């Protein structure tokens, strides 16, 4: 079987993954890593066998992409167990450049295989659930890998920060939807308001996130100082309040823009038929306009949710918590594994949110006409 072009391109990073150090062995958390190649960890025969399987994966990538990626992740656990067996208690194994290159190449190969199959929305949701289940199972064998050791040392803190991250991202997202959709409807009906509203929201988007967090500290701090009720509900100059407000403001533009675009895309004949049926403007909005514009509105909502999940990481700089806590702690301690403990869940959540929203959009009647 002749491999497709993408498989041939991905053969380069996959080969580099086999040629570069697969892992790094450290005597403790702060010691320098000693590079370890696959042939050193598993022996030459096993390394040759893995290389042959990699060639077969490139040749029949669409069939073997999923099991090959699962085997690659499991291989990291096997290597870590072998390298730490009989060693000091504080020894740890970090994934090396070879592992990451191979994992990325196989993940892209799997994505291409799924794209070629064109699975429906239900199938994509099923694949996503299966991927999470498989990942949870594979990580059970990563007990000697440094990222999981960082997680084990911060188990309770990790899940507390995960809840804060989700509360910040989902809460600001929900607020933006509740405000942005009615605002989009309003400026669609009153064209004179469109320029000032869209100009203001666009200007907010141009402000860097860290700068916006900083700009909100003073007014929210003043509010907490002079309004007891505000302080009682948790509003303050630092913490979740300024991060929540900043994410909410960033999220408004995509929601409003897509609401206006969805409403403007409704055929004039449909609007005329609704008026001919005697529907009032409010009835027409609820029964005709919003349902027809919903796929476009949800597209904006998808952009907002993925954006908020990523931006919520920066909120840790002002005490908002979330996965960014581990990212910035890792940067301060020069601990790459701690950085990954915060970064990888953020990426996984953003990817999952996109898949879920894409499936929901496809499930709408007439969404993919």
Helix axis angle for 5-19 and 97-117, nearest 10°, is 160
Confidence of residue 304 (pLDDT cuts 50, 70, 90): very high
Q: What is the pLDDT of residue 168?
A: 92
Q: Is 116 within 8 Å of 55 (Cβ atoms)?
A: no
Q: What is the DSSP string of 11-52?
A: HHHHHHHHHS--EEEESSSSSPPEEE-HHHHH-HHHHHHHHH
How confident is the model over 281-290, as pLDDT tens digits?
788 887 888 8
Q: What is the pLDDT of residue 253?
A: 92
Mean local confidence (pLDDT), 61-90: 81
Q: Indicate the range of 58-62, 67-71, 278-282, 337-341 predicted with least confidence.
A: 58-62
Q: Provide the total of helices (H) and of strands (E) in the chain, helices listed first.
A: 17, 3
Mean local confidence (pLDDT), 45-73: 75
Q: How far is CA 223 from CA 38, 212, 231, in A?
A: 58, 17, 8
> In the chain, what is the straight-line distance between the N-terminal and C-terminal CA atoms, in Å?
35
Predicted confidence (pLDDT) at residue 369 exceeds the cutoff of 50: no
Q: Indicate the range of 77-81, 278-282, 286-290, 326-330 predicted with least confidence.
A: 278-282
**Of the candidates 133, 123, 142, 1, the residue with the CA atom closest to the CA atom of residue 62:** 1
Q: What is the pLDDT of residue 327?
A: 93
β-strands 92-95, 34-36 pairing = unpaired
Confidence of residue 349 (pLDDT cuts 50, 70, 90): very high
Q: What is the pLDDT of residue 308?
A: 93
Mean local confidence (pLDDT), 64-92: 83
Which secondary structure element, helix H or strand E, spans residue 331, and what is its range?
Answer: helix 324-333
Predicted confidence (pLDDT) at residue 29 exceeds the cutoff of 80: no
Mean local confidence (pLDDT), 217-226: 67
Residue 152, token pair as written in the block: 């084990």
Q: What is the pTM of this model?
A: 0.85
Longest pairwise C-alpha distance within the chain: 82
**Of the candidates 311, 293, 290, the residue with the CA atom closest to the CA atom of residue 172:** 311
Mean local confidence (pLDDT), 85-105: 83
Q: Indicate the range of 11-25, 197-211, 222-236, 286-300 predicted with least confidence.
A: 222-236
Q: Cα–Cα distance between 56 and 68 in angstroms, integer?
A: 10
Q: Is 117 within 8 Å of 76 (Cβ atoms)?
A: no
Residues whose CB falls within 8 Å of the CB of residue 24, separated by 6 or more in sequence, listed in order: 33, 34, 35, 36, 93, 94, 95, 96
Q: Is 182 within 8 Å of 342 (Cβ atoms)?
A: no
How confident is the model over 111-124, as pLDDT tens digits?
877 877 788 889 88
Mean local confidence (pLDDT), 330-351: 90
Q: What is the pLDDT of residue 182?
A: 93
How confident is the model over 224-278, as pLDDT tens digits?
666 666 565 566 667 778 888 889 999 999 999 999 998 888 887 777 787 777 7
Query: Which 3 state secondary structure label does DSSP give 251?
Result: helix
């Amino acid at each position: 079987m002749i491999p497709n072009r993408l498989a041939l391109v991905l053969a380069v990073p996959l080969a580099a993954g086999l040629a570069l150090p697969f892992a790094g062995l450290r005597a403790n958390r702060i010691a320098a890593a000693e590079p370890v190649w696959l042939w050193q960890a598993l022996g030459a025969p096993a390394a040759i066998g893995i290389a042959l399987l990699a060639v077969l994966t490139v040749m029949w990538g669409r069939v073997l992409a999923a099991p090959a990626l699962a085997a690659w992740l499991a291989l990291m656990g096997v290597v870590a167990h072998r390298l730490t067996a009989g060693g000091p208690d504080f020894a740890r194994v970090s994934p090396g450049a070879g592992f990451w290159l191979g994992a990325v190449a196989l993940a892209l190969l799997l994505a291409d295989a799924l794209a070629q199959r064109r699975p429906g929305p239900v199938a994509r949701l099923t694949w996503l659930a299966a991927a999470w289940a498989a990942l949870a199972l594979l990580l059970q064998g990563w007990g000697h890998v440094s990222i999981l050791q960082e997680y084990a040392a911060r188990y309770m803190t990790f899940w507390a920060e995960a809840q804060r991250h989700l509360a910040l991202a989902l809460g600001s997202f929900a607020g933006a939807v509740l405000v942005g959709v009615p605002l989009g409807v309003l400026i669609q009906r009153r064209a004179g308001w469109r320029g000032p509203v869209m100009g203001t929201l666009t200007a907010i988007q141009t402000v860097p996130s860290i700068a916006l967090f900083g700009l909100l500290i003073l007014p929210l701090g003043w509010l907490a100082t002079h309004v007891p009720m505000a302080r009682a509900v948790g509003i303050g100059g630092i913490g979740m309040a300024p991060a929540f407000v900043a994410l909410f403001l960033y999220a408004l533009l995509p929601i409003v823009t897509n609401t206006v675009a969805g409403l403007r895309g409704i055929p004039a004949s449909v609007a005329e038929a609704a008026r001919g049926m005697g529907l009032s403007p409010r009835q027409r909005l609820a029964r005709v306009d919003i349902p027809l514009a919903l796929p476009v509105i949800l597209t904006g909502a998808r952009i907002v949710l993925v954006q908020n999940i990523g931006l919520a990481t920066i909120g840790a700089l002002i005490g908002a918590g979330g996965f960014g806590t581990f990212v910035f702690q890792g940067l301060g301690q020069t601990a790459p594994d701690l950085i990954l403990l915060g970064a990888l869940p953020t990426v996984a959540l953003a990817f999952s949110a996109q898949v879920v929203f894409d499936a929901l959009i496809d499930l709408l009647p007439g969404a993919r006409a």
